Amino acid sequence: MLTRRTFIALTAASSSALAQAAKPGKPNVIATPPPTGPGLVTADITKLAPETEQLDLYLLIGQSNMKGRGVMPETAANNPRILAMHLKDDQWYIARHPLHLTGNAQTFAGHDNAGVGPGLAFAEAIAMAHPRSTIGLIPCAVGGSQIKLWQRGAKLYDEAMRRAKLTLQTTAPLKGRIRAALWLQGESDARPAELAVYEAKLLKLVDDLRSDLDSPELPFIACTIGEMGDAAKLDGKAGINQILLSLSQKRPHTACIDCRDLKTHIGDSVHFDTVAQNIIGQRYAETLLKLP
């Protein structure tokens, strides 16, 4: 769980950012600042971190809340046991925020609005629970993406498979294994016309991931989307969440973490803030660790 000291620090950082972003008469949407130097620290995914004996890989898929928009901490994470594959160059670095960095790994040129998502807090909790493991994160989320882009043959699904299979090939001597896929998506499909077909597409996504990765029992952990903001849109969000929450009844080795209680966001009633994202990451880890 989050320590009290960490929770207070994250809350303070989020509150400070909100205060700085406040403008009379306008929504207090936080523009996620770019990462600060130095650049990412390179890592060798073909070698285990000291005192570890296995490589556990995790696929991060979905839209902007998986990508993350939370305000980043002042100090970058630097745990050599937690690595991340860069979106642009397919190279590996010590994981830090933003995991979904779209800019240059050293200068950050070309960076978009990616910030704190749930992936790093998840990895930190898993690393603590499994001290003999090196953790490898494969970030693939894309903001604004509908689930139709995460179907076999569509560009985001196919790109995620390319990155996953490249990682498995590269880490074959270490017997690297993808241990789970984490899914956080649904805001772009929270409309009546999309709700009617969302469940079928979600189940197909689970089935195709398992088939294409040759892992029939691959754990798939979803997360509810935020039920915040405009009342006119809440029915659609609630509809998506009911589908996500019923996932474990339709496919074995799946789960959905319920985060409907989290209401703090960056000011747009859509994107979870840093505190909420870290809680989501912790819940992902707790759920995976309990999954049969």
pLDDT, tens digit (0-9, with 9 covering 90-100), for 268-282: 999 999 999 999 999
Does position 13 have pLDDT exceeding 80, yes or no? no
Separation between Cα atoms, residue 223 and residue 141, nearest integer Å: 14
Q: Residue 12: what pLDDT?
A: 38
**Which domains are delineated in the chain?**
41-290 (3.40.50.1110)
Q: Which two tokens stand for residue 170?
A: 């590269």
Average pLDDT in the 60-70 region?
98
Q: Residue 281: what pLDDT?
A: 98
Alpha-carbon distances of 178 from 10, 81, 164, 214, 251, rounded to whole Å: 30, 16, 8, 10, 18
- Percentage of the chain surpassing pLDDT 70? 90
Separation between Cα atoms, residue 51 and residue 35, nearest integer Å: 30
Q: Residue 14: what pLDDT?
A: 39
Average pLDDT in the 128-146 region?
98
Average pLDDT in the 215-230 region?
95
Q: Residue 292: what pLDDT?
A: 85
Which amino acid would we find at residue 19? A
**pLDDT tier, 88 (very low <50, low <70, confident <90, very high otherwise):** very high
- Percentage of the chain surpassing pLDDT 90? 84
Helices 119-129 and 274-290: crossing angle, nearest 10°?
A: 40
29 or 69: which leads in pLDDT:
69
Does position 203 have pLDDT exceeding 80, yes or no? yes
Separation between Cα atoms, residue 90 and residue 106, nearest integer Å: 14
- Asked if 262 and 276 count as a contact pair (C-beta separation under 8 A), the reply is yes
Average pLDDT in the 144-150 region?
98
Average pLDDT in the 133-137 region?
98
Separation between Cα atoms, residue 283 and residue 261, nearest integer Å: 12
Q: Residue 258: what pLDDT?
A: 98
**pLDDT tier, 36 (very low <50, low <70, confident <90, very high otherwise):** confident
Average pLDDT in the 52-80 region?
96
Q: Residue 28: what pLDDT?
A: 67
Average pLDDT in the 201-229 region?
97
Smallest Cα–Cα separation from 224: which of 202, 208, 200, 251?
202
State residue 255 phi and psi, 5-degree precision.
-160, 165
Average pLDDT in the 199-214 region?
98
Average pLDDT in the 11-23 region?
37
pLDDT, tens digit (0-9, with 9 covering 90-100), for 226-260: 999 878 789 999 999 999 999 999 999 999 999 99
pLDDT, tens digit (0-9, with 9 covering 90-100), for 156-194: 999 999 999 999 999 999 999 999 999 999 999 999 999
Q: Residue 32: what pLDDT?
A: 80
